[in-house]
Structure 1
Amino acid sequence: METKKRGGIPLYVWMLVGFIAGLGGGLYVNLNGLEVLPWVMDLVQSVGQIFLRLLFMLVLPLLFSALAVGVAEMGDLKSLGRAGFKTLIFTIIVSAIAVAIGLGMVNYFRPGEGVNPALAAQLLAQGADSAAGIVGSAPKSIEAGKFFLDMIPSNVVTAAAENQILPVMIFALMFGIGMVMAKSPATDQLQQTLQGVFEVMMKLINLVIKLAPIAIACLMFNLAAVFGWDLLVRLGAYAAVAVGAMAIHMFVVYPLVVWIAGGMNPFKFFYGVREPIVVAFSTASSNATLPVSIRVAETELKLPRRISRFVLTVGATANQNGTALFEGVTVLFLAQFFGVDLNLGQQLIVMLVCILGGIGTAGVPAGSLPVIALILAMVGVPPEGIGLILGVDRFLDMCRTTLNVTGDLVAATVVSRGETDAIVPADAVEPVAPPA
């Protein structure tokens, strides 16, 4: 999450203020049995809906450009050969493991259950109408190969017009691979154009995010007025499960991958990357941590310069295990909260979109927000539910950024195994200076 300031106060602080104000007002209404004037509730809901619609408006071009450019940046595949393919395979496999851990934790502990079904159905009905016209429904099963068939659009323009997120993301993935394979001055220019689209979308996203404190207050007021104290209990359970899943991936999966696939002692690895871990947790920014990660990879882990720089640079946008895990946990938690039962096929869809979303939106300030809202609408959960998690998102953002940065260094360690700097002379690249 970005830390841009308003009047010297970081944006996340304003978001926390909006969260507390909306939660406090909603709890006061709920506990005292007050009735809010209908036009006031309509106004409150409209403000939240405007925020969500603005996100939905921007999410498809953002995802397409980010995913296509993220894959195309592996255009170094032709010069680095195995390193690029190993990076891509690592990203897909480890992101899948991360999402699977998150989904498994939510299914086991079920932090979203226990809410009054009648109240959940009431809010579910409110969100269904607003979401129906924004995002098409996801496939309900994977029987007879229908799921895989539906992933491939017969007409990508029609799929985009109908807001079918998964087919558009598959097309963006193939488009990026095509730009890698058809490397030429023309495709380089096309990549620059898509990069421009991405930057425009990010600028607009950042403008929309500035409305988040007001939107959070409105969304939380509506939710707290309906659910009362149940909201706080469920929210605490959600945060605990999310952090627990990230801890398992950080301290179980990563050490095993470093040891087995990277051939390095896990204790040596974590001791060497202690500095980028601290920077990532304190700044909640993968991009801000990148210079530190590059320096540590070369000086502490002794990884080949050309490999580590390639993997860490691409990984800052494409290898985001923490983001993918967070998205999966959040979607399933909110589905449980609103009483939406997702079958195995639908959970596999969520898992796939989270993996692709991790590639397409990683390293983007607040990039997971529109993706989560869109997935929620895909599986029939009110997108308004994102208001539940935004107030505690700063701490979770710090945790998942730490997971993302550590995952990039794990990837660099694995891909560097058996590689050397023989292709690039040591004096051909200027060393990265440590951050001020």
Structure 2
Amino acid sequence: MEEKSEINGHAVPGTGTTDRIMEKNAKKKKKSTGEKVVMFLRRNMMVILTVTGVLVGVGLGMMVRTMNLSRAHIAYFAFPGEMLLRMLKMIILPLIVCSLISGAASLDTRSLGKLGGIAVTYFLATTLIASGIGVALAFIIKPGVGAGSLNTNSLALEKVSSNKEAADSFLDLARNIFPANLVAASFRTYATDYKMVAVGNTTNGSLLYEKVPVGTDLESMNILGLALFAMMFGVALRKLGGEGEELIRFFNAFNEATMVLVAWIMWYVPIGITFLVASKIVEMQDVVLLVTSLGKYIFASILGHIIHGGLVLPLIYFCITRKNPFTFLVGLIAPFTTAFATCSSSATLPSMIKCVEENNGVDKRISRFILPIGATVNMDGAAIFQCIAAVFIAQLNDRELNAGVIFTILVMATASSIGAAGVPAGGIITIAIILEAIGLPTNDLSLMLAVDWIVDRTTTVVNVESDALGAGILHHINQQEMKKQQLRQEGGELTEVRVEVAANIQAEEETSPLVTHQNKDAMPEAVESVL
């Protein structure tokens, strides 16, 4: 039988049971180091597996490259990576629409306008800074000087045709903001094409033709139009009051279910990334010739991304929040790795939202409202390499760039990066807008396309980093505003009687979460006073 004793009238276990309990506690203490390691591995398992996938992909690609596979076999080899991209793209539509609707509906109209204004200011400021860095580096490094003999024939590259007018590009951007058909916008984007129409005869009797713009549809999701509609729809639901609550709850539940799907897809990411990286290495032709010929351009672009992503963006975050930006960025290694492998801001969005909320504690209302917008319009990395590419092609063609042309490049790069699609090589065609605006030929775009698979990886990482830090800044500003409102609501008189009303804290907790949140700091003192 167990020995029992009494303390204050309550039976407690005897010394034998107490010894066993103490032994168990001692064993737990001995395992504490091992448990910490296991907890660390569990917490960072996705990051470890994702980074490992990249490294294994590089090694696997170098091995398979020696086998001289046919085009068909390379396509089969790339199939697991293709499946990852398809799964990520599958989740983009419900994620963007539901997150923006629930985010806009959960925010007050005044705070929505304030946060939106801050976000737009941040996006424009960082993109302008990125464009300035790109132009400055292009003039310092001069990647196109002395490379006049470089052409697509020497590198065996195909010509890239782009005859689109700059004015039509911006008109297409405006048309896509307001899609005529929301269902079609899920898989089509409006784009202007041209056809030659006979308008009369010349003096010698031959027909006179005129180039006329004609609207066409491209097989690409119109994310910009869907995002704007989702935001406006969320604001409209908020305005309905009680009548819109059911629909808001529906989209909130839809959003949470989508994030569960994202969590499942994330476990396939390491496998997909391995084959994405490996297949890209296998596909490379004469990479040594490309890198040596376009080495300055590649170096300037990657250096610009390192400066902007490693110095400028963290400095902006630190100046506004007074917090260590690199602590914030450490929690985002997994989405950065996904961005590096997939080269798609949109495909990285599910992972980014998950990590920003879970690892960095950003408010869901902020992250699910700002990040989808950022993935659509905030393209800092694209602005850098577009500016470098424009100056590179100008130097390649021995064109002098005066102050007016440089200003045009800055403005056009900032504006055109907003409409750049968040897909691999999405920024290449937007360079044509800049070239057309400053009167440069677009036939050298194939040089950019040849090494885009290298530059686009750091481009996408900088794009998603800027989005994430923007969400962190907005979260900090929102927290500061909440604290100011809390102090205003409390006032001097309430502070004096806080201890006296401590006995009612339990009742307040059950009826008003807002009061609980406001008085959370005062609870330990209040309970002690009551006792």
TM class, shorter-length: 0.5 to 0.7
AA aligned to 1:270 is L
Change (3 A) 1:382 1:89: same
Q: Give the Å deviation of 1:370.
A: 1.8
The correspondence for 1:332, drawn from 367, 391, 407, is 391
Alignment of 1:163-202 (within 5 A): 163=165, 165-166=166-167, 169=170, 172=173, 197-198=188-189, 201-202=217-218
Q: Give the Å deviation of 1:7.
A: 3.7
Q: Name the structure 1 match of 2:141.
A: 109
Change (3 A) 1:417 1:168: same
Alignment of 1:148-297 (within 5 A): 163=165, 165-166=166-167, 169=170, 172=173, 197-198=188-189, 201-203=217-219, 233-297=292-356
Deviations 1:161-199 (A, max 9, x none): xx3x258627956995xx7xxxxxxxx977667666527
2: distance between equivalents of 1:93 and 1:267?
21
Change (3 A) 1:324 1:263: same
2: distance between equivalents of 1:285 and 1:171?
22
1: distance between equivalents of 2:466 and 2:73?
33
Under a length normalisation based on structure 2, what TM-score does the superposition of the two structures give?
0.48
Paired residues of 1:277 and 1:406 also in contact (CA < 8 A): yes
Q: Name the structure 1 match of 2:130.
A: 98
Residue 386 (structure 2) pairs with residue 353 (structure 1): no
2: distance between equivalents of 1:348 and 1:192?
39
2: distance between equivalents of 1:291 and 1:325?
25
Deviations 1:300-334 (A, max 9, x none): 11111100111111111111111111111111111
Paired residues of 2:425 and 2:452 also in contact (CA < 8 A): no
The correspondence for 2:464, drawn from 383, 388, 405, is 405
Paired residues of 2:188 and 2:219 also in contact (CA < 8 A): no
Q: Give the Å deviation of 1:250.
A: 0.8
Unaligned runs of at least 5 residues, structure 1: 1-5, 14-68, 124-129, 136-162, 180-187, 206-219, 221-228, 427-436
Q: Name the structure 1 match of 2:62.
A: none
Paired residues of 1:262 and 1:415 also in contact (CA < 8 A): no
CA RMSD of aligned residues (A): 4.0
2: distance between equivalents of 1:234 and 1:120?
8
Report the 3-state secondary structure (helix = DSSP H, G, I; strand = E; otherwise coil) of the residue aligned with 2:298: helix
2: distance between equivalents of 1:251 and 1:407?
11
Q: Name the structure 1 match of 2:74.
A: 9
Q: Name the structure 2 match of 1:50.
A: none
Q: Name the structure 2 match of 1:343.
A: 402
Residue 316 (structure 2) pairs with residue 316 (structure 1): no
Paired residues of 2:366 and 2:471 also in contact (CA < 8 A): yes
2: distance between equivalents of 1:363 and 1:204?
10
Structure 1 window deviating more from structure 2 (106-115 vs 371-380): it is 371-380
Query: Which structure: greater strand fraction?
Result: 2
Report the 3-state secondary structure (helix = DSSP H, G, I; strand = E; otherwise coil) of the residue aligned with 1:300: helix
Higher relative contact order (CA 8 A, sep 6+): 1
Paired residues of 1:166 and 1:353 also in contact (CA < 8 A): no
2: distance between equivalents of 1:84 and 1:343?
36
Report the 3-state secondary structure (helix = DSSP H, G, I; strand = E; otherwise coil) of the residue aligned with 1:261: helix
How many pairs are equivalent? 294
Report the 3-state secondary structure (helix = DSSP H, G, I; strand = E; otherwise coil) of the residue aligned with 1:339: coil
Alignment of 1:44-83 (within 5 A): 76=104, 79=109, 80-83=112-115
1: distance between equivalents of 2:329 and 2:395?
36
2: distance between equivalents of 1:357 and 1:364?
15
Q: Name the structure 2 match of 1:300.
A: 359
AA aligned to 1:112 is G
Residue 475 (structure 2) pairs with residue 416 (structure 1): yes
2: distance between equivalents of 1:168 and 1:325?
20
Deviations 1:87-123 (A, max 9, x none): 111110000000100100001111110135xx689x9
Under a length normalisation based on structure 1, what TM-score does the superposition of the two structures give?
0.58
Q: Who wins on radius of gyration, i.e. which is larger?
A: 2
Structure 1 window deviating more from structure 2 (299-308 vs 358-367): it is 358-367
AA aligned to 1:403 is V
Report the 3-state secondary structure (helix = DSSP H, G, I; strand = E; otherwise coil) of the residue aligned with 2:189: helix
1: distance between equivalents of 2:379 and 2:303?
17
Q: Give the Å deviation of 1:201.
A: 4.0
Unaligned runs of at least 5 residues, structure 2: 1-70, 79-95, 154-159, 191-215, 222-284, 483-512, 515-531
Alignment of 1:138-153 (within 5 A): none
AA aligned to 1:9 is I
Paired residues of 2:417 and 2:430 also in contact (CA < 8 A): no
Paired residues of 1:319 and 1:408 also in contact (CA < 8 A): yes
2: distance between equivalents of 1:393 and 1:303?
33
Q: Give the Å deviation of 1:339.
A: 0.8
